[in-house]
A and B are shown apart, each in its own frame.
Chain A
Amino acid sequence: MTSPTTSTSEQEASPLGPRRFDVGRWARRSLAPVILAVALFLGIWQAVVLTGWRPDYLLPGPATVLAALGEISAAGEFWQALGRTLLRALTGFGLAAAIGTLLGLVVARSRLLRAAIGSLVTGLQTMPSVVWFPLAILLLGLGEQAIMFVVVLGAAPSIANGVLTGVDQVPPAYFRLGHVLRAKGWNLYRFIVIPAALPSYVGGLNQGWAFAWRSLMAGELLVVIPGAVGLGNRLAFAQEFGDAAGLLAYMIVILVIGMLADLAFSALSRRIRLRRGLTVR
């Protein structure tokens, strides 16, 4: 072949160079709004306290509560409660993820099942998961199983839904490509469908986590297991003992855990989107 093909050079530089994590940019874009939100929250809280709407022992100010938080976190029982709650959260969420993912993948392959389960999932999601507790306690007794039951029931539908949405949104061209590359059955799912569905799946996991966390807190307020006290139980105890500062301190801990999990999921989802060029910095 003698035609001059050398002009097909490698010099067509890509407009998007390699991407590195930029700390300054992250601080400006992600950290600054969070700091501002916390400041606003503390300001409003302090302002309400200053109006004298409720006496100090019922509604203490931020400074008192932060001091109480420091005191609580110095004690072993706080760390035990935190550990217990996180263990329940991770176990419940893990179970829900396994069940939801499997359910989603099985249902995605059948149009009829998808239509049927799809409405069931939507129905389940409209029901506040706390509503399941009386039944769970009746069936499984006042124990870990009742809590797990509700956590999984709260989270699994969202996760299954994430899988289903993801599979539905796989571009038809990818299925044609799969056919041409002879990716059949499990290979088609493994190499093409599941990776293509990943962004939506992570969205489902995020939502599932939020439901799991809510269900768990509701569970720990309702179900007390001697010897297995979680953050929710501590919150309930603080109310019973009239310990307002402690109560608010535990609320803050619960809030922070929820926010950290959310941040982790957003970071994961953003990373996936960036790698695929679905979003720009």
Chain B
Amino acid sequence: MTGPVATAVMAPAVPGRLQLAGVSKVFGRGDQRVVALEGVDLTVEPGEFVAVVGGSGCGKSTMLTLAAGLEEPTTGTVEAAGGVALMFQESTLLPWLTAAKNVELALRLHGVGRDERQERARRLLAKVRLGRHADKRPHELSGGMRQRVALARVLAQEASIVLMDEPLGALDAMTRDQMHDLIEDVWQESGFSVVFVTHNVREAVRLADRAILMGSRPGHIVQELQIELPRPRVMDAAPVAALASELTRRLREEVARHDESDYFDI
């Protein structure tokens, strides 16, 4: 870990706990220097479902790449206890492998033997309701089906922390609804913690235990909100809609505040 020692006291490492303390991330140097994140403190408890909401350029994807260990933070510490799996915006299934082989690859790279990984891949695909499409290649599947294979691949990694970077951004409303149910199902069954990045406030309210609102320039956490609505929640139901519009209002305020400060900077 780089940078100054974090002031926050680290809780002992329990599988599924993700802790970001005093995290900032700077890209480039000199004129090209961009501060993507600044002063981010976030703790995700084991089994918790956290949604990170913000407009484009608020550093929410950067936060995930740091949490996944794909990049090192410029300052601060990132501590992820237990394995971390990442689900991308695009499914990034390998196009030369069938759905089953894509899932099997994750198992193979975790040292699972052939018979067991074939068996487990079939079971995972059945769990995401793709049992009959196991031998299709990604280009023969619809966008929603591809993301379900990606979800099965995430499950294959048996990680205690699952990071999702706008995984449903490219899907139509109907398919997205079904994916919400599916993601909620497997999360409740497996007990991993989730950080779910989205720009869709209603989606955050539909899925999360806690929503983190982020602002931009530089990316930082504006506020967070416990979502105490009982599950299962329905995307179009009144309580979800009410909370979502409240969140939207707060995000708008944040954006307006920034536009104003930009205005006065000039």
Chain B residues with CB under 8 A of A25 = none
Question: Quick check: A8 and B184 within 8 Å, CB to CB?
Answer: no
Contact A276 B139 (CB under 8 A): yes
A176-B70, A192-B94 known; A5 and B105 CB under 8 Å?
A: no
* Closest B residue to A174 using CB positions: B92
1/0 contact string of A174-186 vs chain B (CB within 8 Å): 1011011111000
The answer to whether B85 and A180 have CB atoms under 8 Å apart is: yes
Tell me which residues across on chain B come within 8 A of A275, comparing CB atoms.
Answer: 95-96, 137
**Pick the contact of B136 from A1, A2, A4, A14 — CB < 8 Å?**
A14
Chain A residues with Cβ below 8 Å from B96 are 195-196, 198, 272, 275-276
Instruction: Check if A180 sits within 8 Å of B129, measured CB to CB.
Output: no
Complex interface bits, A1-27 against B, C-beta within 8 A gives 1, otherwise 0: 111110111101010100000000000
- A198 / chain B contacts, CB cutoff of 8 Å: 96
Which B residues are in CB contact (< 8 Å) with A41?
A: none
Q: How many residues of B contact A (CB 8 A)?
A: 44
Q: How large is the interface on A (under 10, 10 to 19, 20 to 34, 35 or more residues)?
A: 20 to 34
Residue pair A181, B184 in contact (C-beta under 8 Å) = no
Contact B70–A183 (Cβ < 8 Å): no
Q: How far is the CA of A277 from the CA of B68 in the complex (A)?
A: 30
Given A1-B185, A14-B133, A198-B96, 5 more pairs with CB closer than 8 A: A1-B232, A8-B182, A177-B88, A195-B96, A278-B95
Question: Could you write out 16 A-B pairs with CB less than 8 Å apart?
Answer: A1-B185, A8-B129, A171-B92, A174-B92, A176-B70, A176-B92, A180-B68, A180-B157, A191-B105, A191-B108, A192-B94, A275-B95, A275-B137, A276-B139, A277-B138, A277-B139
- Across the A-B interface, the 9 shortest Cβ-Cβ residue pairs: A277-B139, A3-B232, A8-B178, A5-B181, A276-B95, A14-B140, A180-B86, A173-B92, A12-B142
